[in-house]
Structure 1
Amino acid sequence: MTVTTTDPRARLAAAAACAGTVPPPPVGPLRVGVDLGTATCVLVVLDAAGAPVWVDSHPCGALRDGVVVDFAGATAAVRHLRDRAEEALGVALTRAATAYPPCIPVQDARACVHVCETAGFADVVLVDEVSAAQRTLEVRDGVVVDVGGGSTGVGVFRDGVLVALDDRPGGGHHLDLVLAGALGLTVEGAEAHKREHPADALPILVPGLQRIAESVRAMTREVPRLPVHLAGGALMIPGADSVLASWLERPVVTYPHALLITPLGIARSAP
């Protein structure tokens, strides 16, 4: 029996548990979310009750700063994930939602839709990444910060309603550049080092983390007391939240499986 929950941490744990597992037969209509990330494309499928039944990812470097720079590569990644999901679930997946970083030009945001359509989805809904993250976290009064590979999106929520939305350059890719320069590694090697040796990487990354924190401050000057809720995989480094909290002088809330917050919310936004 499918169990649903309003606890975002339980939602994220349920989504993480789906990765690499054989799904049960799906119940009712399915909702699909496609997250076209800078380094990885993630596909999430929810059942009629909103519970995750399939989570899969594929390396994809087809986006830069939220803009599709390799249309063919992005399309191939989405088609690969869609085919795998259809085979595993035994159903055709024709509708989906996808997302874009806040404040990029409309034509660039629409490119994300065109990628999904070319990959086989006939009906595609577009949502900004911060609003998608909010669909998972359901923050009532606070700041949702989605730190992606190339940019940091910030949304201010009051009574659960988005009242301000902005985006600034700077994200996980920039942190990798800092680490690569300090240690003499390739960018790919720096990303691996950050995951495998977070305690060693953190002191080197403090200035980069403070830059991200200052971007958050600049985008939330009108609400300096609201807590910050972190989404995205770029800041999944133990101690990063403390660096941001100290710099911002406000509470910073983290979540397990933060890389899945936005993809799960995209799926929750699907038709």
Structure 2
Amino acid sequence: MAAPDDGWAAAHALLAEAASRRDDPILTPPSRPRVGVDLGTASCVLVVLDDDRPVWVESAGSGALHDGVVVDFARAVATVRSLRSRAEDALGVPLTRAATAYPPCIPVADARACTYVCEAAGFDEVALVDEVSAAQRTLEISDGVVVDVGGGSTGIGVFRGGELVRLDDRPGGGHHLDLVLAGALGITVEEAERTKRERPADALPILVPGLHRIAESVRAMTAGTDDELPLHLAGGALMIPRAGDVLASYLQRTVVTHPHALLVTPVGIARSCPEEGTTQ
């Protein structure tokens, strides 16, 4: 596995600042607010940027999506509305424009449901972007493969010269790893998720077959691309120490991990939010 180099210094600084906003938000009214809503399988993340600087980051448990599809509309709306209200109260400004994202290759109607959730939660204008392109807007990778491993699916985007040349998505992500761990240890899925986060060294050997399954999905989705392109991991599902090493060894490809990977896509979604006076 390759270590990130200075080429991603700006992206890593942005992610570090976003991570710090969870405990230390900037409670002054942003002059140019840009909002990103990441409707995840396990949790929903709301990011507020002031132009390009993170000022507010908060998440809440959701469970309203399954494999990128909204399965509990009312619950999803309530979660986003609560996060939006808390951010507005803290920052002292109305938040009326946002961006949200969907896994690549899901049906158009399912992708639009993500927009409808945000509109029902009080946003007047909502831009829609796929999750892989959102991750790229944070990492700004010129030549490489973005691998966004979410709770329910794994998406990939192949970039050359900064342009997206291939986009794909397959089922399988963090929730499936939790199922593997829960079955092996005889515990609930919720307990498995906590074990994965709190005792990753114990969980990793059990999760290797699940990681290999994700790796096989990546192999299939990138078939025909040049093997010299590095794989850049985003998403919270693989925030397990040495998970990137497992993928690199199995695929025999360069795998690059990035700090605060859980925030790569949410920050990129916020960067996709149109500014006042612009159209999407």
Partner of 1:259: 262
- The one-letter amino acid of 2:236's match is G
Distance 1:149 1:220 in 2: 20
State whether structure 2 residue 226 is matched by structure 1 residue 207. Answer: no
Distance 1:118 1:264 in 2: 22
CA contact (8 A) 1:232 1:258 kept: yes
Q: Deviations over 1:6-56 (max 9, x none)?
A: 7111110000011132424234221000000001000000112x0101001
SS of the aligned residue for 1:25 comes to coil
SS of the aligned residue for 2:26 comes to coil
- The one-letter amino acid of 1:186's match is T
Q: Deviations over 1:42-82 (max 9, x none)?
A: 0000112x010100111100000000000000000000000
Percentage of pairs with the same residue: 73
Distance 2:22 2:239 in 1: 18
Match of 1:38 among 36, 41, 52: 41
| Coordinate RMSD, CA, aligned | 1.0
CA contact (8 A) 1:20 1:56 kept: no
Deviates more, 1:75-84 or 1:248-257: 248-257
Partner of 1:174: 176
Partner of 2:235: 232
Match of 1:134 among 118, 133, 136: 136
State whether structure 2 residue 177 is matched by structure 1 residue 187. Answer: no
Distance 1:132 1:71 in 2: 23
Q: Deviations over 1:137-188 (max 9, x none)?
A: 0010000000000100000000010000000110000000000000001000
TM-score (norm 2): 0.93
Distance 2:140 2:212 in 1: 26
Distance 2:191 2:99 in 1: 32
Distance 1:8 1:181 in 2: 37
Distance 1:108 1:73 in 2: 16
- The one-letter amino acid of 1:17's match is S
Partner of 1:160: 162
Deviates more, 1:213-222 or 1:134-143: 213-222
Partner of 1:248: 251
Distance 2:30 2:78 in 1: 28
Cα shift at 1:132 = 0.2
CA contact (8 A) 1:26 1:53 kept: no
Match of 1:81 among 79, 83, 103: 83
TM-score (norm 1): 0.96
Partner of 2:110: 108
The count of residues paired between Structure 1 and Structure 2 equals 266
Cα shift at 1:114 = 0.3
- The one-letter amino acid of 2:41's match is T
